[in-house]
Amino acid sequence: MAFPMPVRQLFIDGEWREPIKKNRIPIINPSTEEIIGDIPAATAEDVEVAVVAARKAFKKNKGRDWAATSGAHRARYLRAIAAKITERKDHFVKLETLDSGKPFDEAVLDIDDVASCFEYFAGQAEKLDAKQKAPVTLPMDRFKSHVLRQPIGVVGLISPWNYPLLMATWKIAPALAAGCTAVLKPSELASVTCLEFGDVCNEVGLPPGVLNILTGLGPDAGAPIVSHPDIDKVAFTGSSATGSKIMASAAQLVKPVTLELGGKSPIIMFEDIDIDTAVEWTIFGVFWTNGQICSATSRLLVHESIATEFVDRMVKWTKNIKISDPFEEGCRLGPVISKGQYDKIMNFISTAKSEGATILCGGSRPEHLKKGYFIEPTIVTDISTSMQIWKEEVFGPVICVKTFSTEDEAIELANDTQYGLAAAVFSKDLERCERVTKALEVGAVWVNCSQPCFVQAPWGGIKRSGFGRELGEWGIENYLNIKQVTSDISGEQWGWYKSP
C-alpha cells in the first residue's frame, strides 16, 4: 500500500531536533523488504539533552513543575491525548501496519487500546488526588501519620517493536499520570508511531520536556538512558537477555527497574473441552501479532486421550489462516519484523528437525509470497523437553505440542521452564481450572481463553520473565514514591531523657 512515511527528528523539550551526530536508521517494510524512509539515530549526547529537558520540566521554579501539578490537572492532558489519538486513528493504524507488518485489523485494535489506556490513566491520576494524605492507624494516640504519594522523578522508558505505540503507552500514560517526566526510547525496528506521538503531545499542549522521544540503537541510546545518573527509574519491555543487562547497569546506582521480559507460556488442554473452541483459542494464542508476543502460549500440553483429534483439527485450522500483505482484507498473519528475526525463527525450526522433531505444517516461506519476512504458521510435534524449541522463546508463529496423562504431570511440564509470564488452562471442570491456576508459576493465567489483556488488570511475570506490574492501579504505583509523614500532636515532652 502506498502511504508516505513522515520525516521526523528527535522529539526533545517539545521541539523536533536533528540528532547531534546527524545519523539516521533506514525503515524497512517487512512485507516487501524495501526501504521506505528513515528515523533519527540518537546517541548519548542526545540523551543528555533530553534528560536535562525532562529534569527541568519535572521541577521548575515558582510551582510550574509537572511534579507539583494535581492529578486532575494531568488527567486533562491524558484525556486530550486519548481524544487526539482517536481523531487521528486512521493515520496511526496505517503507519503501524506499514512499519511493523502487523495485520491491519490488529493495528486497529491496538490504536483503540492506546486511546483507552490514556483515558484509563487519566482516571487513575484523578484518584491519586484522593489518596494523598491517606491516614495510617497508629497504636499511640499522641502521634498522627499519613502517606504521601509523589512522582519518582525522571523515568527512562524502553519499549519493544511488537506493539510499538501500545507498549510505549503502557509506560507513558501511568508515568505522566503519576507526575513523572520521561525519556522514551522505542525499538529501532518499529519507531514511527512513537515519533508521531510527539506531534500529538504538541497538539494537546503538553508542557515541553514532559515527554521526550529518542529513536536509535540500544547500545547508542538505550544504554545511556539506563546508566544516566539523572534518570530515577527505568521501565523496560523486551528480551530477558537485555533485561538482565539493564538490571546490572541500573544496580550501579541502585536505580529501581520494572522489567517485562520474555516468555515460553504453556496452554493446557484437558480431555473434557470443546475441541473446535479450544483449537481456535490455541492458534489465536500463538499466531496473533504474527507470533511475536512475549506471552504467546507456544507450548501446547494436550491430554493424551484427545491429542490426535485435537492436533488434526489444529492443523486444519492453521492451514486456513490467511497469510498476506497486512493491508489485504482478512489478513490474519503478516511478516515477522525483520530479516534478523526471520533467520532466527527459521534456525529454531531447522534445529528442531535436526533434533528429531516433526514439522506437522508450516516451517517455511509461503509459496505465494516471494518477498517479505513471511513464515507459515508452524506446528511442531515429537518434542522432548530438552529441545531448544521447547525451552527457548522463538518469538514467531511456531507452536510445540506435547501430551500428558494426569493433572499433576501437566502442571509439572507447564512449570518446567525458566520463564513465568503467562499460561492458559482449558477445561469444563472449573474446580480443576482453579486448582491448576493456583499451581501455575506465572504472573497471568487465562481460563478457557488465551491472550485477552485489559488495562484495568495487572500485567507482568515472575522468574526470568521479569518483575513489577504494568496496567491497572498497579501500573501507576510503579512511578510513585511512598512517603510516610508522622507528627507528634500532643505538644508534650517525650520524656525519654531527664531534664538537666
Residues labelled as active-site residues: 260, 294
Residues pairing with 445 in the sheet: 423
- On whether the CB atoms of residues 387 and 352 are closer than 8 A, the answer is yes
Q: Alpha carbon 65 to chain centroid distance?
A: 29
CA pair distance 77, 74, nearest whole angstrom: 5
DSSP letter (8 states) at residue 325:
-
- On whether the CB atoms of residues 461 and 443 are closer than 8 A, the answer is yes
- On whether the CB atoms of residues 99 and 193 are closer than 8 A, the answer is yes
CA pair distance 378, 132, nearest whole angstrom: 52
CA dihedral 395, 286, 357, 366 (to 10 degrees): -80
CA 243, 249, 252, 253 torsion-angle sign? negative
- On whether the CB atoms of residues 455 and 432 are closer than 8 A, the answer is no
CA pair distance 35, 104, nearest whole angstrom: 20
| 484 phi, psi to nearest 5 deg | -85, 135
Strands 358-361 and 378-381: antiparallel
Cell output for 201: 503531545
The residues, any chain, with a CB within 8 Å of residue 404's CB and separated by 6 or more, are 268, 301, 302, 303, 304, 410, 413
CA pair distance 427, 379, nearest whole angstrom: 22
CA pair distance 446, 450, nearest whole angstrom: 6
Beta strand spans in 421-479 (E): 422-426, 444-447, 462-463, 466-467
